[in-house]
Structure 1
Amino acid sequence: MLSSGGHALLAVYDEALPAVYGYLIRRTRDKGIAEDLTSETFLAAMDRARGDDPVDPSIPWLIGIARHKLADHWRRMQRTPIPVEEVPDHPGDDQWDVHLDRILAEYTLFRLSDTHRAVLTLRYVDDCTVAQCAEMLDRTVTATEALLTRAKRAFRASYPSDPATSAAKGGRR
């Protein structure tokens, strides 16, 4: 039998599912991982809703759980290179430059260590404060500030300064 928290979670499920999945797919870019993390999010939410401390389930609350599940995933994940999409012969217009910059930034991000990728994504994609990043990554604020500094330095060192030169060298600096 469902508790009142369980019924409240079911009441927001249809509206919350696309929001939670959308949040996760934009950050993982992998349908399978996003689906798994979405399931984990709702299972954790149901466990919490059935607990002794009543909750009022909402989409922001579920996104917070999803953020924790994503951080857990990043902690577990092993480093694997992500291939860059093929570049057409004739890019066309300025929109292509924006698209290429996004691809290069994502590629550079996925070349970093899991911890660096996680802290940069939480801070600059999710717009979390350093304190929130620290909480998500189970670190102190001071350690997270130092990690963020190292991650930004690693990103800048890995990001190709000239995409044409980088492509000619096989994507390595």
Structure 2
Amino acid sequence: MSEPAGEPGTGGQDPLAAFLASEDPLLDKIYGYIRRRLCDSDDVPGVFEETMKAFVAYADRKDLPVEEYLPVMFGIARRKIADAWRALSRRAAAELPQEPSDLALLADACVEAYGAVDLRLDVENALSRLTPKQRRVLVLRAVDQLTREETARAMGVSVSRVKALTEEARAKIFLHGSLKDYEPRTATRRRITQTGTSEAQA
């Protein structure tokens, strides 16, 4: 008796096995997500491996549809990152750095390296006025480099909602007094204006 065929487009291979063998760019995005939130520590490869093992076990057990891979992987990565910080705090004698907040990661994406301290503070102040959903959209798009479609799946919303939240966030940022007078040609304004805009619009 022949093996059951896989889903269309997988060459008869199991969809999960096909995904893992394809070197999908999503795997690099998950690794980057973990790396940024663990401050490039030596624990990053291990946390990524634990994340993937947990994902494969869950996806196999639940017969997870391909379209649900992304939100499940990000959810598992988030929990593994929290576990890693708790483990670090238990074994470290010296004071540990704090896990970077979404606000700090987003400010890093908007302000060029070695930018002026007062400029960074202005950017953080403006970004802090966003709603949680507006901030999360920008983080997923600008920091974690997800496409609109990937961001929509990660947040459980429509692509049109992602686009609307992005536009609302940009408008709110530039209504903030400390940023509205920046010259459009400056690198910081250009980065903020382009935040959430990727070559991979898909």
TM-score (norm 1): 0.44
Considering fraction of residues, name the structure with more helix. 1
TM-score (norm 2): 0.39
